[in-house]
Structure 1
Amino acid sequence: MKRKEVILFMTVGTGTNLNINEENSKNHAQKLYYTINKIRPDKVIFFASDKSKGTVEYIEELFQKDNDEFILDEDYQIVIINAIDDLNTCFEAYESKIWELDYEDDGDYDIIMDYTSGTKTMSAAMASCGMFYSKDLISVGGDRSTGEVSRGTEIINYQNIYKIYDKFALMRTRNNFNANRFRACIDILNYIVDLNIHKDSLMHLCKAYYAWDNMDFEDAYDHLRKVNLNQVEFMEVKNDIKFNLKALGNIINSKSVNLKNCYILASLINNSIRRSEEFKYDDAIARLYRSFELIAQIELTKYNIKSSDIDVSVLKQNNVSDEFIMDLEKTREDGKIRIGLEKDFMLLNELGNDLGKYYVDNESKIKNLTRKRNNSILAHGLDSLTQNDFDEFLDIVLNLSYSLDKDMKKFIKQTKFAKFDLKLKLNKN
């Protein structure tokens, strides 16, 4: 396999003396020459000011003394930075060269960035740029008893910055979590290696909400129970997770069918709200439509009626009119009467139920909304829905859900996904 070429980035300063003179430049050149000889790159790119670029000439002389060559454009290149105390200018100079090598040139390179020399701003910018683009960072250390590294004591330090990468990954995870991109969170967490970060609990957290977002309540409950809420990463969301865990527990374990169904409904409503926050209004309204339908189905169970298999004898016991029953009989297929959203609410109205009455009183508005849903790209048509369509539909669904159960506001609050406070400086140590 062909060896990758090594490109060494080096900042060129003036040593400890702000006044550039021949002695300072020669001393500085000697230190840069030491690093070049140790790394033995295929090419060096110096980042210097107009005042410090002359130092490179002394590096050429050092190569000549060792019977070697150091040729401009072949072995090295000089990039001039005019504003050496401006962080953005320095960063962009390094970044531009990385892009040129990594994305514009056909070569296959490993870039090593030595941020030892130059102004403090040049060094800070190079370290930041190297971390941002995942390049190897080195610095030259040694005996500093005289204030700078003494000649002959130099040691090249490769900077292992995995902790920084992991903390950056943690912040990316928190951002993605708040944006409901739970699969992305899981992918990012797989790369964390710092044992001080409670990766396992974070993984269970993201898998729990990924499952819940897909309405897989059992898997969500199983993962969320495994999150250690006493760990530092969860201190700001601890109470919200406890609410969420209680809600999932009721969905999985409650012996009350009504309580379980109400929590499922609340989860579905929150699911639709999350889609709307992502501007996916067709998707959001599809979920609202199912919520709307579920409200009627939950209410019908209180009469021991299943809309997927209507028992006519139960309707008669509840004094439903013969005319309405005859109308339902016309839809019987395979021995069963199955009814949809509109008939669900009309049946509730026949039963003298308040939800059915609400539907009849708002029938024109509701039919207009359901018509838009039916014409959407995710239903039977090609239309795209808007935020205003969603807001109107949500208002109807919430009004009906509050009438369905007096505790529905609590259920919706408990099924709202936990969110991290992204302003919190989690890793203060």
Structure 2
Amino acid sequence: MKRKEVILFMTVGTGTNLNSNEENSESHAQKLYYTIDKIRPNHVVFFASDKSKETIKYIEKLFEKDNDEFIENEDYQVVTINAIDDLNKCFEVYESKIWEFDFKDDNDYDIIMDYTSGTKTMSAAMANCGMFYSKDLISVGGDRSTGEVSRGTEIIHYQNIYKIYDKFALMRTRYNFNANRFRACIDILNYIIDLNIHKDSLLNLCKSYYAWDNMDFEEAYDNLRKVDVNQMEFTEIKNDIKFNLKALGNIMNSKSVNLKNCYILASIINNSIRRSEEFKYDDAIARLYRSFELIAQIELTKYNIKSSDIDVSILKQNNVSDEFINDLEKTREDGKIRIGLEKDFLLLNELGNDLGKYYIENNSKIKNLTQKRNKSILAHGLDSLTQKDFDEFLEIVLNLSYSLDKDMKKFLKQTKFAKFDLKLELNKNY
């Protein structure tokens, strides 16, 4: 396999603590030459101020001394930095050259960035730029008993900054987590290698929320049980995770059908709220519509009535009018009577149920909202819905859910996904 060409980026200073500018430049050139000789790059890019450019001429002489040549625009190039104490300007100069080699040139290069020389600002900017673009960073160390690295003691240090990358990845994970991008979190976490970060628990948390967001309660429960909330990464969301685990546990294990259904309902409502936070109002209202329908279905189960298979004898036992029953009989198909959202609530009203009465009392508003939903691009039409549509629909659904069960606010709290505090105080401990 063909070896990649190596491009060496070098900041160029003027040297210090010598008797003349010439001695400064010669001494500094020797240190830069040492690095070039050890790295053996195909091309060098010097980043220098007008004052420090003279140093490069002495590097040419050192090559000549070794019976070699170092030719400008062939073996090296010089990029002038005018604002040597402006971090942003320095960063932009380095960045432009990275783009030139990585994206404008068709060849494939390995870029090594030596930030040892130059002003402190030049060095800091190069280190940051190298980290941002995932380039190899090197610095030259050695005996500093005289205040700077003594000739003959130079050692090239390749900077292993995986911990910095991992902390950056951890913060990206936290931001993506708060934005409900759990699949992205999983992809980012898989690249973390710092053993001090409890990656496995973080992965399990993200896998759990990803599954829960897709209504796979079993997978969500299995993964959330593997999260060790006592690890420091979960300090700020520890209690929320415990609530979530309790909610999923009830969905999976509760012997009470009503309790299980109420937690599922709360999960769907919170799911719709998350979609609205992402400005996906058509998607959010589609979930609210399902919540609306589920509320009626849950309430009907208290009468042992299934919307998917109406038992007329139960309706008669509960004094439902013959007119209503006859109307239902007209819809019987394959031996079964199946009813939808509107008929669910009308049946509840026939049963003298408060949810049915609420539906009748707010019929005009509810019909307007359901019609908008039906015209949505995610239902039967091509219209797009708005935040106002969502807020109005959510108000109806919440009012009905509170009437459905006195503990619904608790269920909603326990099924709400945790959010990290992004003020970064927690990161002081990493």
TM-score class, shorter: over 0.9
Q: Which residue in 1 is equivalent to 2:110?
A: 110
Q: Does 1:272 align with 2:260?
A: no
Contact in 2 for aligned 1:14/1:20 (Cα 8 Å): no
* 1:152 counterpart SS class: coil
Q: Does 1:383 align with 2:383?
A: yes
* 1:275 counterpart SS class: helix
For 1:140, the aligned partner's letter is V
Distance 1:133 1:19 in 2: 39
For 1:167, the aligned partner's letter is K
Distance 1:428 1:172 in 2: 16
| 1:13-412 aligned within 5 A | 13-17=13-17, 21-412=21-412
Distance 1:400 1:394 in 2: 10
- Offset at 1:19? 9.6
Distance 1:16 1:117 in 2: 11
Distance 2:15 2:335 in 1: 93
C-alpha spacing 1:20/1:275, structure 2 compared with 1 (3 Å): farther
Figure out how many residues of one structure are paired with residues of the other and give that number: 429
Distance 1:177 1:227 in 2: 15
Contact in 1 for aligned 2:114/2:139 (Cα 8 Å): yes
Contact in 2 for aligned 1:48/1:78 (Cα 8 Å): yes
| 1:409-428 aligned within 5 A | 409-428=409-428
Distance 2:186 2:300 in 1: 40
Distance 2:413 2:166 in 1: 33
Greater alpha carbon shift after TM alignment, 250-259 vs 342-351: 250-259
Distance 2:147 2:224 in 1: 54
Distance 2:240 2:264 in 1: 18
* 2:391 counterpart SS class: helix
Distance 1:17 1:285 in 2: 72
C-alpha spacing 1:324/1:20, structure 2 compared with 1 (3 Å): farther
Contact in 1 for aligned 2:33/2:59 (Cα 8 Å): yes
Contact in 2 for aligned 1:320/1:350 (Cα 8 Å): yes
- Offset at 1:18? 10
- Offset at 1:427? 3.3
- Offset at 1:275? 0.3
Distance 2:383 2:427 in 1: 47
Contact in 1 for aligned 2:13/2:119 (Cα 8 Å): yes
- Offset at 1:65? 0.9
- Offset at 1:15? 1.9
Contact in 1 for aligned 2:8/2:112 (Cα 8 Å): yes
* 2:47 counterpart SS class: strand
- Offset at 1:69? 0.8
Distance 1:118 1:76 in 2: 17
Distance 1:169 1:35 in 2: 31
Distance 2:61 2:205 in 1: 60
Contact in 2 for aligned 1:192/1:199 (Cα 8 Å): yes
* 2:52 counterpart SS class: coil
For 1:373, the aligned partner's letter is R
Q: How far does the alpha carbon of each residue in 1:367-408 deviate from its partner, in whole angstroms, 9 at most, with x for none? A: 111111111111111111111111110011011111111111
Contact in 2 for aligned 1:49/1:82 (Cα 8 Å): yes
Q: How far does the alpha carbon of each residue in 1:2-54 deviate from its partner, in whole angstroms, 9 at most, with x for none? A: 21100000000122359971110110000000000000000000001111111
Contact in 1 for aligned 2:18/2:24 (Cα 8 Å): no
Distance 1:17 1:428 in 2: 38
For 2:184, the aligned partner's letter is A
For 2:149, the aligned partner's letter is V
Q: Kindly, what percent of the aligned residue pairs are identical?
A: 88
C-alpha spacing 1:336/1:25, structure 2 compared with 1 (3 Å): same
C-alpha spacing 1:385/1:22, structure 2 compared with 1 (3 Å): same
Distance 1:249 1:63 in 2: 73
- TM-score under structure 2 length normalisation: 0.98
Contact in 2 for aligned 1:272/1:285 (Cα 8 Å): yes
Distance 2:81 2:341 in 1: 69
Distance 2:173 2:357 in 1: 47
* 1:77 counterpart SS class: strand
For 2:118, the aligned partner's letter is G
Root-mean-square deviation (CA, aligned residues, Å) is: 1.1
- TM-score under structure 1 length normalisation: 0.99
- Offset at 1:55? 0.6
Distance 2:317 2:156 in 1: 89
Distance 1:427 1:195 in 2: 16
For 2:126, the aligned partner's letter is M
Q: How far does the alpha carbon of each residue in 1:226-251 deviate from its partner, in whole angstroms, 9 at most, with x for none? A: 10011111111101111111111111
Q: How far does the alpha carbon of each residue in 1:125-150 deviate from its partner, in whole angstroms, 9 at most, with x for none? A: 11110000000000001111111110
Q: How far does the alpha carbon of each residue in 1:69-99 deviate from its partner, in whole angstroms, 9 at most, with x for none? A: 1111101111111111111011111001001
Distance 1:110 1:388 in 2: 53
* 1:9 counterpart SS class: strand
* 2:426 counterpart SS class: coil
Unpaired stretches in structure 1, ≥5 consecutive residues: none
Distance 1:395 1:319 in 2: 31
